[in-house]
């Protein structure tokens, strides 16, 4: 998943981005609303984490513009304001969730997962395809009772394929979803991760097919 973190506190921004990156998410950081708009103009995001008080404006104004532009990317507001009226105002403005600073990283991660599940229309975390069961919380694939552990980016790649069963995903799309602007990406990065995931799927009916010149797709063989 690719997240946009809009937060002007450099220490907090770095800590949140590092924590989410450990889960395999790509995180772009913006310290101002202007930087955030530039990021939105250059990439698409699965989730936005939004501070309220920013150097060049109020995050709630950004949220209003975000919804008026019919952008459906879910937004979690992060702020030190803890009054009930502040939470109600953020939610009524268009936020999908609200977390008060200081927060525990585990709670933030759980809220991110919950919002993404709601937006994806899935109440359950585990996904089943062919003869595999994928559990993103445990970072495992289960094939005929055998549990295989996934590394963070392998897990996010599996999520992408499961969300697009049978559809071709280009290398460019996969790079966009797996890497942030600040991360160096080698020419064969996607081939490396696809190769690793294929090894984890070895022996199952789930196959990652290469469509020459176009990309990859998950099929049942």
Residue 53 CB partners (closer than 8 Å, separation 6+):
8, 59, 79
Whether residue 122 is predicted with pLDDT greater than 60 in this model: the reply is no
Residue by residue, DSSP assigns 71-122 as ----EEEEES---HHHHHHHHHHT-SEEEESS--HHHHHHHHHHHHHHHHT-
HSE value, Cβ hemisphere, 13 Å, CA-based, for 200: 23
Residue pLDDT, tens place only, 133-177: 999 888 899 999 999 999 999 999 999 999 898 899 999 999 999
- Which CATH number is 2-120's, of 3.40.1280.10, 3.40.50.2300, 3.40.50.150, 3.40.640.10? 3.40.50.2300
- Predicted pLDDT at 123: 44
Q: Say whether pLDDT at 178 is over 80.
A: yes
Q: What's the distance, CA 111 to chain centroid?
A: 12
Top pLDDT among 112 and 118 is at: 112
CB 193 within 8 A of CB 153: yes
- The reply to whether 2-120 and 127-220 are identical in fold is no
Q: Where are the domains of the chain?
A: 2-120, 127-220
Percent pLDDT > 70 in the chain is 97
DSSP classification of residue 1: -
What CATH architecture applies to the domain 127-220? Orthogonal Bundle (1.10)
Bridge partners (DSSP) of residue 53 are 58
Q: Quick one: pLDDT at residue 184?
A: 87
């Amino acid at each position: 998943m690719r997240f946009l973190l809009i937060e002007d506190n450099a220490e907090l921004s770095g800590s949140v981005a590092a924590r989410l990156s450990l889960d395999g998410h790509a995180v772009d950081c913006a310290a101002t609303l202007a930087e955030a708009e530039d990021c939105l103009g250059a990439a698409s995001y699965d989730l936005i984490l939004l501070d309220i008080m920013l150097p060049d404006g109020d995050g709630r104004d950004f949220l209003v513009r975000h919804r008026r532009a019919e952008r459906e990317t879910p937004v979690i507001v992060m702020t030190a304001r803890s009054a009930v009226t502040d939470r109600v105002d953020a939610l009524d403005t268009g936020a999908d969730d609200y977390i008060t600073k200081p927060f525990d990283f585990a709670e933030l991660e759980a809220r991110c997962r919950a919002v993404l599940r709601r937006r994806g229309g899935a109440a359950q975390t585990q996904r089943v395809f062919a003869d595999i069961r994928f559990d993103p919380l445990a970072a495992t694939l289960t094939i005929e009772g055998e549990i295989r552990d996934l590394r963070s980016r392998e897990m996010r790649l599996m999520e992408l394929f499961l969300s697009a069963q049978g559809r071709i995903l280009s290398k460019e799309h996969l790079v966009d979803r797996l890497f942030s602007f600040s991360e160096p990406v080698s020419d064969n990065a996607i081939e490396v991760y696809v190769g690793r995931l294929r090894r984890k799927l070895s022996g199952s009916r789930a196959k990652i097919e290469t469509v020459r010149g176009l990309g990859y797709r998950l099929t049942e063989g």
